[in-house]
Structure 1
């Protein structure tokens, strides 16, 4: 049995090396300079909101967008076959404001319940060449949100990746876990974009031009996939040269988070199904990072239980957490999520277990509806 201990110890070293390499890679974003101020030349923009049964959120949140400090913009409100008062709320906004336009989507048999179909109709209604997307349950973090996002359309940039934060709820463990997962996702997609391999964005704070949308033939390549109107589009359309990052705190959007564990799991199951459709390299690297996390915990616990060279084991584990703390801590400060970074080791272990359970659940049955 003792012959097994060295093999286990060297396995831990190998797994930790891979995991640390990822966290050092994430330093690319963690130590990046602050996001630049918006360009002085601001194009007219179309703000697009696709909503399904969101009457209450629309009543509360659209006014924050109308109050944006921006010279010329319109709001396209898309009613995706809602069964509540969403249509009436949108109609009221359209009647009261000249720059608000309503698009009513009736379920189409070929695209039943498909958000991408509804978004496509809204995009076709947009008057301007630059479009910014936000969800109905989101509010801009500041009156300068549009200036920062639209001001990032410089040179040949056609896609702008923003940060979609979640509202902080004091004393809520699930809220901190959700925000930690959101932070980790942002660290990854911002880092890969910094490295010239942008692979996803979040639809609650995303911008791109009408030209690139039509150039890519919209969502046609993944129209049959219910989710992924944001990340799958970015995955297919983004390049090193055409993608800009915007993570100035005034450019954030703030969403209403799920308040129950089950609701959040349902949401994450839907999101994770899209990852299998990413480009091979990003899919491989994202999977490798997760596997290195999982094996680090499994092998680390096993080696500690044997007490084999425990001083060296603790040194290896300590080096790994030091690299991770730097990546997560500095990124959290940049994205105003410092409170979740303090409890990083706990949230990481919980999140690894949650992701494993979601992976197993999705193998058994896959979610089919976007809302």
Structure 2
């Protein structure tokens, strides 16, 4: 009976994994390049919105980069959220150089709301333009076409949301390589389901939507108290297959600075994963089915290898090992193709190894994040 269950779980795991890897993720990995559309008649104004708390150094780099954008009508709104560094003075200096730079300063956050959502809401309320493009202070656009390409679905196609990709700077070391892998996997989730007309999340480091829609639905109503989720929970609640577009173009991406210590990374991921508990049930299942089948595949596969190894049933041992090896080849191939389509770069090294380590990462950190009560923005 035990052997039968191992085979059953192994078979179920590989079956669901193949669906995800080749069919769902394949929608992104093996998609055709998107055609660039440019209609001068629809180049309406765009407001780039950045919420910043003690981001002096990053803003000093970011602001000039934003004004290098090749787009005719845009302004930049920086929400100075309770900063105690030199952010305010920097913004005053920058506004004398860049007339289209605007800022609003927050001195305190009301007790009943979370800081990031309050900062974003205030910034959106005072924005001049209806098309809002979000990024973070530590992000840099990958090209001078970022505004044009990220906002095109909203400006030209009548979409409410445009979901883009934001990667991290590459560096040496295991942590950075893991960050590259996990970021790409997360992108495969939300970009792929978005391409299948079933969007469920986005990332605030590269997200576009209409101000009028945000105000109409009172976007953060119902989850003001949730730390984080100002991007993915808003998308999760209101994005549909009809009103949402996916932007797959390396020139439309942004790049962020990665965490450099495991402690910083864990704090960040706890906040990200914590918001997931508030997703709609059907959207939790999109991630849950992959993660459950991933666990079934690896745990039952290892169990079978041990069983046949002890019993010296080498023929069956090699069959199981061959299936595991074949799936690893598929993972490497999918990640390589997806990275090329999304980022225009090679996939993270050792994707097959990180795929195995993801088994512990998701279930351990996911459980901790789900139960955490000490989540903070800054």
Same fold (TM over 0.5): yes
Q: What does residue range 141-180 of structure 1 map to in structure 2 within 5 Å?
A: 141-153=142-154, 154-169=156-171, 171-180=172-181
Distance 1:337 1:4, change over 3 A: farther
Residue 47 of structure 2 contacts residue 132 of structure 2 at CA under 8 Å; is this kept in 1? yes
Deviations 1:273-318 (A, max 9, x none): 0111111111012112112112222111111111252132123323
Q: Deviations over 1:19-41 (max 9, x none)?
A: 22211221111111113314323
Structure 1 residue 337, shift from structure 2 partner? 6.7
Matched ranges for 1:175-254 at <5 A: 175-254=176-255
The 2-side partners of 1:4 and 1:301 are apart by: 14
Which piece of structure 1 moves more, 361-370 or 155-164?
361-370
TM-score normalised by the chain length of structure 1: 0.94
- Residue deviations 1:28-81 (CA, integer Å, cap 9, x gap): 111111133143232210000000111111111111001111101000010111
Match of 1:220, SS state, is coil
TM-score by length of 2: 0.92
- Measured in 2, the distance between the counterparts of 1:247 and 1:239 equals 18
Q: 1:239 to 1:112 in 2, by over 3 A?
A: closer
Matches within 5 A, 1:316-327: 316-327=323-334
Q: 1 CA distance for matches of 2:263 and 2:291?
A: 22
Secondary structure of 2:153 counterpart: coil
State the 1:329 CA deviation: 2.1
Deviation per CA, 1:171-209, whole angstroms, max 9, x where unpaired?
222111101111000111011111111111110111001
Deviates more, 1:209-218 or 1:340-349: 340-349
CA–CA distance in 2 between the matches of 1:265 and 1:36? 38
Number of residue equivalences: 368
Q: Is the 8 A contact 2:11 2:297 kept in 1?
A: no
Residue equivalent to 1:274: 275
Pair 363,162 (structure 1): closer, same or farther in 2 beyond 3 Å: closer
Q: Map Cα deviations across residues 155-181 of structure 1 (whole Å, 9 max, x no partner).
A: 221111011011111x22211110111
Distance (Å, rounded) in 2 between the aligned partners of 1:237 and 1:360: 26
Q: Verify the 8 A CA contact 1:43 1:150 in the aligned structure 2.
A: no
* C-alpha deviation, 1:16, in angstroms: 1.5
Residue 29 of structure 2: aligned partner: 30
Q: Using a 3 Å threshold, how does the CA distance of structure 1 residues 113 and 242 change in structure 2: closer, same or farther?
A: closer
Residue by residue, what CA displacement relative to the aligned partner does 1:87-122 show, whole Å, maximum 9, x if unpaired? 222222223221011110121333465210111100
Verify the 8 A CA contact 1:166 1:256 in the aligned structure 2.
yes
Question: What secondary structure sits across from 2:299 in the alignment?
Answer: helix
Secondary structure of the 1:151 match is helix
Cα gap change, 1:101 to 1:178, in 2 (>3 Å)? same
User: In 2, Cα distance between the equivalents of 1:234 and 1:285?
Assistant: 15
Instruction: Give the SS at the match of 1:222.
Output: coil
Give the secondary structure class of the aligned counterpart of 1:18.
helix
Distance 2:206 2:85 in 1: 25
2:356 counterpart (349, 356, 371): 349
Does the CA contact (< 8 Å) of 1:27 and 1:326 recur in 2? no
**Aligned CA distance change for structure 1 residues 223 and 332 (closer, same or farther; 3 Å):** same
Distance across 2 between alignment mates of 1:4 and 1:239: 43
- 1:21 corresponds to: 19
Report the Cα distance in structure 1 between the residues aligned to 2:348 and 2:337, rounded to whole angstroms: 9
Q: Structure 1, residues 134-169: CA drift from partner, whole Å, max 9, x if none? A: 100011101111111122222221111011011111
The 2-side partners of 1:158 and 1:365 are apart by 32
Segments of 5+ residues of structure 1 without an aligned counterpart are none
SS of residue matched to 2:25: helix
> Out of 342, 347, 370, which is 1:335 matched to?
342
Unaligned runs of 5+ in 2: none
Instruction: Say whether residues 1:53 and 2:54 are aligned partners.
Output: yes
Distance 1:179 1:130 in 2: 30
Q: Residue 221 of structure 1: SS of its match in structure 2?
A: coil
Structure 1 Cα separation of the partners of residues 256 and 48 of structure 2: 16
Segment of structure 1 superposing worse, 278-287 or 130-139 = 278-287
1:59-138 matches, cutoff 5 A: 59-111=60-112, 113-138=114-139
